[in-house]
Amino acid sequence: MQEREYIKDTKYCQILAQSRVTDGVYTYSIEKVYVKKKKRDEIRFCLYKDTLNQIEKYIPRSLDVTELELLELFKEAINQDVFSMEMLGSLKGILSQKKVKESKVSILSTESEEKK
């Protein structure tokens, strides 16, 4: 297997790509990681915080962000190549289908209002 570049190597994984958004207290991140035991790439949503012992210590808990912060994080993840082109293509298809469904609902509700 060809050796890949990584940002950080831990016992659990290698961080291959990373998006980061900081709010002054926490750093939110979406990462592409290679999980050594499973021998595969995965996407990880995570949280880091500066502590007295360590700068940007990984915090093993859920990542709670606003929709605006999530959009900013996704934008950065796309810019940092966290997601594959196949994944982005699939996401584009899902969003296009959602847009089509919403426009059909909008047209139907407009037609029913006009009949009244």
Structure tokens at 61: 């808990």
> Whole domain around residue 108: which residue ranges?
84-116
Q: Please give the Cα distance from 62 to 25 (Å, whole number).
A: 15
pTM for this model (two decimals): 0.77
> 96 and 73, same structural domain?
no
Strands 13-22 and 8-9: antiparallel
pLDDT band at 24 (very low <50, low <70, confident <90, very high): confident
Q: pLDDT tens digits, residue range 62-105?
A: 889 999 999 999 999 999 999 999 999 999 999 888 776 666 55
Q: pLDDT tens digits, residue range 42-64?
A: 999 999 999 999 999 999 988 89
Q: What is the pLDDT of residue 19?
A: 95
Q: What is the pLDDT of residue 43?
A: 96
> 14 and 68, same structural domain?
yes
> 66 and 15, same structural domain?
yes
Q: Considering only CA atoms, which of 36, 28, 40, 34 is closest in space to residue 16? A: 34
Q: Considering only CA atoms, which of 39, 21, 38 is closest in space to residue 30? A: 21
Give, for 59, the enclosing helix (H) or strand (E).
strand 57-59
